[in-house]
Structure formats: C-alpha cells, structure tokens
Structure 1
Amino acid sequence: MDRRATTIIPLALLAGVSLAVLLAGQSLAELDRAWWIEYLPLIVFLIAALMGGRMNHSRITFLALVGLFTFLAAGSGGTTEPVQRATALAAGLAVCVYTLLCAHWRERGLVTEPGVLRLLLVVGPMAVLWGLVATRPATLVVLLPRFFAAPLFGRLLPLPWPVLLGALAVGALLTARLPRHPLETPVLPVAMAAMLLGLGMTSPRFVGWGAGGDMAVRLAAGRVACSLFMGVAALVLLLASLEHSYGSAYLDELTGLPGRRALEQRLSALGSRFAVAMVDIDHFKRVNDRYGHAVGDQALRFIAGHLRDIKGGNAYRYGGEEFAVVLPRRGERDALGVMEDIRGRIAEGVFHLRANGRPAAAAEPPTGSPTEGIPLTVSVGIAAVARGELTPEEALDEADRALYRAKELGRNRTVRRSELKEDEPSLG
C-alpha cells in the first residue's frame, strides 16, 4: 500500500466523520436503532485484533482491544452527566496511556511470555473499567473526583481536561519520536483522537446537539456519533494491520522498497510498451569489507532512497546490491533520461556514514571514521520493449546483460540493450 495512502486515508476518515457529525446534529438520532451503529465498530475492532495477532503484530491487537473495551464502556455509561464524565475520564486516560505504550513497545508477539503479560496488562484493567461502568457506575463517580472530570472547553469538546492534556502530550511524543513503521504517524494519533472524540460525543451538552430539543434525542445522537468515531478508530487500526501484512509479504525490510514478489506481480501486469532497468552498486563488496555489513546496509538504504524518487516508474529490491526499475509506457530514450538522472545524482552525492548507525554488538568494527563521507556509484542496464517483442521476464534478462556490459566498461555508466552485441553473455 502506498505510504501516502496510509497517511491520507486515516486523516480523511476522521475529517469526514467529524464534518458529517457537525452537519447532521440531532438528526443523527434517526440512526440510533440501526443494527450496525451498535455492532459494526465491535466487529471491526475484533477483526483488527485477530488480524494483528495472526500477522504477529501484537501492538495492533492490543490497541484494537483497548478500542473495543472503550466502545463497550461508552455504551454502558448511562444517561447521567456525572457517570458520563467519569467514564470519559477513566476510558480517555486509558486510551492515552495504552496508545503511548503500544507506540513504544518493541514487537514481542502474542504467544510469548512478554506478549501474554502485555495482553493481561491491557485486557485486565480495561475489562475492570467496563465492568465498573456497566454494573457499578456510582462507584466510578466516587473514585474519580469531579475536579478531574470537568471538561476543559465545556460544550465545544466535552472531554475532561486531563484527557485533553494527555492526548496533546501523547500526540506530540508520537510525532517527535515514533519510528517509521506501519503504525507510524498518523495512524496511532488518528486512532487515539477518534476514540476520544467518540467518548466526548456521548455528552448531551455537546454543542453539535444544540441547546434545545429533547434530552433523549440528544443522547441518541451522541450514541450514533460515538459509534461513528469508534468505527473510524477501528478502520484505522484495520488499515495498519493490512499495511503490516502487505509489508511482510511484499516489502524489503531493509530498504523499504517492494521486493521480488512485488516485482513479479508488476511484470505480469505490464502492457506491450515498457522499459526495465537493472541497477547495481559499484564495488559494494569493498564497502562491506572496509566498513562492515551494518554500513553496507546504510549504503543500500541510501541508494534505495534515490531510486524511490523515480517519477513515472517503480523501483524494487532485486537481491543483494541489485535493484530493478520498471518504467511503464516508456521508450528507450525516456528510460535513458530517467536512469541517467538517477545515476548522476547518486554519483554527485556523498554517502555519509552515521556514527550511531551500527549496532552495539557488530561483528566487525569499521576501519574508517564513522562520520566520513564515501562516494557511491551505480551501473545501470536498460532494456526497452516497443511492441511486445519481448516478455517482461526476457526484458529483465536483457537489462541484466546491459548491466554486465556497463560493469565491463568501467562501471558508473548506463548501457542500453540496443548497444549490446548478440553474443554478449548474461551476468548470471
């Protein structure tokens, strides 16, 4: 799944539902009896939790379970304002805390000892909270002082002020520190915000329900809005789970580029006019031998970063220090211009080693300074197909032959298939 889609879809879902709730107001109460209002968020939360567990992504499972219990608690909070505020305070703080934990926990699986302990840490308190709200709401009101349950912005956003401050703090931490991952920004912040907005919508004082009207109508509209926002949170987590499963199957973990399986699928969908290129890092073995494999990994990511910027095409990690590029509907001249631009930018740039880029227990220390810059170049082979005279697989072999020729000619250059002689061997 495209990274931009992973960023845009959660934000669009949250913005769309927010706008719909504000525009609909009390008319949302008409949907209160629809079965999906009550059950759909639960179903999607369960699917996200199960998929996260199946794909060994326990953090999705944990946060989906937090959302499930939060939705159950919000629906069991009764109609009195003290109970609603106490529920929003307890559940809202739990959402903030668990979001932060899930963001910074390292993946340890579900069926391991750490995984089971974390599962108990999530399910235990959330189940107790749901039980208190459903059976002893008065106890919850007594346990939580009214001062902490008071909303910060009154009718505008009727959430207790500690929840709002906690959400802002967690959001800032996620934005500043969260590493790139399928659960990266904005998936976690949007899921957290949607859950908290769902809790806030249960208040009959929300400005969107108007100052007048029947109390039962405002409460019904609040239940519907709560379900809609909780549904957004569930869908966002499901999206993160799908992104993780896609990445596990199709993305190269080291470079973040699509891998061989994704390349094979892309080749099978090409038309009769296209170009492919093979890219190989020059003297990559020397980099590994001198600086260590950890620095070699940095070099692979450096080259992948340049290839990711190709316009009108897609780059793939082919294996080792080799990459493949697919350029649909491109002729040889266009493909040459694209690949020469990339090759030139790589040659003109300098790859700077990161001082903290190597693991503490690396097998071989680098002999060069960890902050020095080293030049990297690539050799490129191009094969263009104009009228379906070659299959995509055959074109890839021809690009491989052209790459071999570029190596023979001294590296740091691009060779086209049209420049080859018939008897020149393949690199393999």
Structure 2
Amino acid sequence: MMWKPALRLLPLLLLPLPLLLTERVAELSSAHRLFLGTLPWLVGLIVIMLSLGFKQSRALLTTLHLGAVAGLFEVTSSAPLDNPASYILLIALGLCWPLMLGWLTLLPERRTLSRAGLLRIAILLAPYAALALLWHYHPMQLVHLLPLLPLPFIDQLYAQLTISPFVFWWQLGGICILTTLSLLLHNRDVLLNITLSLCVLLALTDTTSAVHGQLYHLLGQLVLLTAVVRHGYDMAFVDTLTGIPGRRALEHHLISPGRGYSIAMLDIDHFKQFNDRYGHDIGDQVLRMVASQLRHVGAGGRLFRYGGEEFTIVFRRGSEDSVNKALEAVRERVAQYPMQIRGTNRPKHDDTGQALRKKGNNGEAVKVTISIGFATQANGEPAEAVIKQADQALYAAKRGGRNCTRSAQQNTPHKKRRSLSDFARNQAD
C-alpha cells in the first residue's frame, strides 16, 4: 500500500497552501475573516476534548503549546510594525517554541487530569503567560532588552520577512535536533513535530498579516486533529503488541468481502510451552516475530490478529491453489526463521536486535512453527461459516502433526515437513 506513506507526508505538502491563500482570504468580508480567526480555536478545542477522551496528554499539551504561540502571534500582528516590544516578543517566541516542543517530546504519557498533568500544563504555559503580561503591562521591560541583543537577533533575514537570522537558524536547528531525538526515541510523531515546527517557522516570517498566522495556526491544529483521530483508530482497530489489525478490524473487513474469497486461520504450535518454559515476555517475542513474517504473505492476503496465538489472513481474490502456495510459503518462512530468545540485556527494538544477531550476539535458538487451515467461499456462505470451515481445517492440521497447511475443500492433507530442531521435539527430548 504505497498510498499510506504518501498520506502521512500530506501535511508537509500542504505547508505552501497558506502562503497561496493569504491574499485571497484577506479579500473576504469581515464576517468571513472573523469566522476564519475563530476556526483554529474551535479545532483546537476539539483536539483537546479528543485528547482527554483518548488519554493523549502529549497531544493536549502540544495543542496548548501551539495555541499559546498563535495567540501571541495575533497580539504582535495587531501592534504597530515599529513597536520594539512586539519585536522582542517575536524573538522570544521563536526561541521558546523548539525548546518547549523538545521537552514535550521527552515527556512520557501521563494522565492529564492529575496533579502531575496539571503541573505540566502550568510549566508549559508559564513562559508564554509571562511574555504576554510583560508585553501588556510592562512593555518597556522588553524594550530595554533590545540594545543588549547582538545584530543577528535584530537584523532581518530578508527585507520582506519579519524573522531575524538567528531565530531562523535556531528554528531550523531545533527541527533537526527534534527530528534526530524523535528517531532515537522511536517516536511515531516525528512528522507531526516537523510539520508543526515548520508552521511556526513560516508564520514567524510574516507577522504583519493576521491572516497569515491564522492560516498556519489552522493548518497546525488540523494536523494535530488528524494525529489524534489516527491514534483513536489505532486504539480501536490495531493490536498494540504486534502492530497489525485486530479482531475488530477483521469484523469490519468481512462486512462486505465480496465473493470467492478465502479465509485462513493460523495457530502457533505449542505456544503454551513457550510461555511455560520461558515466560510471557518470550511468548510476546514469538507473537511479534510470527506477525512480522506473516505480513509478507502473498496472493493479496491481509493479516489480522484473531486473538491469543491465532492469526487470520483474508484473501479477497485468488484461486485456491494460489492461496495454498502463499500460505505454504509463509509457513516455511516462519519455520526457517532463526528465532533467538532475547536475554535480559537484549534491546527490545527489532532493528537493534537484528544488528546484534548479525554480530553473533545470539541467545538460545528455538524453532517456531505454525499450523494453517483455510477455506474458500464456494456457495455464497457468510463469513462466519467460512471462518468455521477454516477453523475445522486448522484442527485437522493440528491433528495431522502440526507445521502444515490444510484446506477445507481438499480431502488429502498436505505432507507435513518436519524439522529436527522443532520446538516440540526439543521439549520431548
């Protein structure tokens, strides 16, 4: 599915849109401009409500962070261009944004409506509240800072821009550091943080137009809304352990599967023995390994975790023979995978684990096998009936010795391919 990476890059592709729309939006009536100015705050309120519902404290804090910066942008855009206090305020905002966003990236998820959660909100908003109070009640305190600043803070990057060279490079450096930090922490919000930082950077380039800042504020809040909704979808439909769609996603997928589809039920052989001998943590490793191998099933199959050690693959199209070949190939891939039991000092991330395996830092080797049963819809049966037939074929594969594939439509079983290093055989020894 090549469209998924492209869809995730869509917010970055939308960044030039506010630049193109600023002049057109400025020509709208005052009522429409008022609505436009209110819209980002309404979207931000929706993000806050969804973040509370989905227990996403970091998304809520990021929304408040963006709103605080956008609110102070509107303050500076309403002030005269030659107001030195407003210019100092812009510099302070440009310096604070990457620092606070980096802090939010390092924060673990916590309950928002708790003492620690409320303290985080207070820490986040305190610098911006102090700047707003200084600008409104003691602007001369900000003006006195102007002669103390080096020229890179005071000069403009270009005559048409309101951002100074230092703030510009500070923002770009912050984006680079934040991206590196997110990748090291395996943070899935790396593109979100890059997009929001670029929104702030582009908004800083022209604070003379309120519309310019409002459009980038709206874009940032929409990106946050998309991220929160995507997280809610993952909570409902994606299995957190293996990262593949779960049973609820399977049920939705089978609402209208079409005709002539095939359903395969797969089960890890002797999975209980893995848990009994090595513990549930090792059992989780086995589940993740099997899921990673099953992802590469051919014939257009789509993988789901059915529950426990069972997986389901749905083939929308394809003959029984092609489905059987695809399942046999993935069964052999699992059986031939060099499964190493991770020690207590072994990193949990898969990429690091693969690098250690290449260096020979291996733990105890075990053999993991799966049994497969599949059925193809022949006479318009409902999906529940096809799953039941696939289950019966799976039980036949189990009774036939495991590590094999059985079809509900075939009378002769597939020949089982045993391995001397089969886990169950090792257990018997």
**TM-score, length basis structure 1:** 0.81
Helix, strand or coil: the match of 2:128?
A: helix
Cα 1:14–1:170, aligned 2, differ >3 Å: closer, same or farther?
A: same
Once the two structures are superposed, residues 162-199 of structure 1 have per-residue CA deviations (whole angstroms, 9 ceiling, x without a partner) of: 3333333222222x323254xx2212222222223223
Structure 2 CA distance for aligned equivalents of residues 138 and 111 of structure 1: 38
Q: Of the candidates 140, 144, 149, which is equivalent to residue 146 of structure 1?
A: 149
Give, in angstroms, the shift of residue 330 of structure 1: 3.3
1:16-165 equivalences under 5 Å are 16-18=14-16, 21=19, 23=20, 29-31=26-28, 33=30, 34-77=33-76, 78-80=79-81, 82-134=84-136, 136-143=138-145, 145-147=148-150, 149-150=153-154, 153-154=157-158, 158=163, 160=167, 161-165=169-173
Partner of 2:389: 398
Q: Does 1:288 align with 2:292?
A: no
SS of 1:381's equivalent?
Answer: strand
| Aligned 8 A contact 1:378 1:411 in 2 | yes
Cα distance in 1, alignment partners of residues 139 and 48 from structure 2:
28
Distance 1:310 1:191, change over 3 A: farther
* Cα shift at 1:4: 6.3
Change (3 A) 1:377 1:353: same
Contact residue 38 and residue 227 of structure 1 kept, 8 A:
yes
- Counterpart of 1:99 in structure 2: which amino acid? L
| AA in 1 matched with 2:56 | H
Counterpart secondary structure, 1:201? coil
The aligned residue for residue 178 of structure 1 is: 185
Distance in 2 of aligned mates of 1:10 and 1:32: 34
Equivalent residue of 1:111, what SS? coil
1:413: which partner in 2? 404
* 2:304 aligns with one of 297, 302, 316: 316
Aligned to 2:423: none
Deviation of 1:386 (Å) = 3.6
Q: Which amino acid aligns with 2:74?
A: G
CA distance in 2, matches of 1:395, 1:98: 53
- CA separation in 1, counterparts of 2:293 and 2:35? 46
Q: Which residue of 2 aligns with 1:201?
A: 206
Shift of 1:382: 0.7
The alpha-carbon deviation at position 275 of structure 1 amounts to 0.9
How much does 1:16 deviate? 2.5
SS of residue paired to 1:315: strand
Query: Is 2:176 the partner of 1:168?
Result: yes
CA contact (8 A) 1:14 1:229 kept: no
Q: 1:299 to 1:130 in 2, by over 3 A?
A: farther
For structure 2, the 5+ residue unaligned runs are 349-360, 413-429
| Number of aligned residues | 387
Equivalent residue number for residue 260 of structure 1: 247
8 A Cα contact 1:250 1:262, kept in partner: yes
Q: Distance in 2 between matches of 1:83 and 1:3?
A: 49
Task: Please list the CA deviations of residues 266-303 of structure 1 after superposition, one character each: whole Å capped at 9, or x if unmatched.
Answer: 11222222111111112222222232211111111111
**Paired position in structure 2 for 1:279:** 266
* 1:43-83 CA-partner distances (Å, limit 9, x unpaired): 11221122111211111000000111111100101242644
Query: After the TM superposition, which residues 363-374 of structure 1 pair with which residues of structure 2 at under 5 Å, given as runs?
Result: 371-374=363-366
The residue type equivalent to 2:12 in the other structure is L
Structure 1 vs Structure 2 CA RMSD: 2.8
Classify 1:310/1:88 alpha carbon distance in 2 versus 1 (closer, same or farther; 3 Å): farther
The structure 1 residue matched to 2:218, chosen from 231, 236, 252, is 231
CA deviations on 1:197-232 (whole Å, 9 max, x unpaired) are 223332xxxxxxxxxxxxxxxx3xx43222222222
Q: 1:20 to 1:116 in 2, by over 3 A?
A: closer
Find the aligned partners of 2:134 and 2:16 in 1 and give their Cα distance.
29
User: With structure 2 as the length reference, what TM-score do the two structures score?
Assistant: 0.81
Q: Residues 88-147 of structure 1, C-alpha deviation per residue, up to 9 Å, x if partnerless?
A: 332233321222222221111112222121122123333333344455544334347533
Unmatched 5+ residue regions in structure 1?
203-218, 360-368, 422-428
Q: Call closer, same or farther: CA 1:223–1:72 in 2, change over 3 Å.
A: same
Higher relative contact order, chain-length normalized (CA < 8 Å, sep 6+): 1
Quick one: distance in 2 between partners of 1:90 and 1:156?
20
**Aligned amino acid, residue 330 of structure 2:** I
Distance 1:237 1:60, change over 3 A: same
Contact 2:261–2:317 (CA<8 Å) still a contact in 1? yes
Residue 381 in 1 paired to residue 385 in 2? Answer: no
Structure 2 match to 1:14? 12
Q: What SS is found at the alignment partner of 1:186?
A: helix
Match of 2:232 in 1: 245
Amino acid at match of 2:184: R
Q: Matched residue of 2:239: which SS?
A: coil
SS in 2 for 1:76: helix
- Answering whether residue 182 of structure 2 is matched by residue 190 of structure 1, we say no
Task: Determine what percentage of the aligned residue pairs are the same residue.
Answer: 32
**Residue in structure 1 matched with residue 339 of structure 2 by the alignment:** 351
Q: Which runs of 4+ in 1 moved over 6 A?
A: none
Contact 1:343-1:413 within 8 A present in 2 as well: yes
**Rounded Cα–Cα distance in structure 2 between residues aligned with 1:287 and 1:408:** 20
Q: Which range moves more in the overlay, 370-379 or 336-345?
A: 370-379
CA gap 1:13/1:80 in 2 versus in 1, 3 angstroms: same
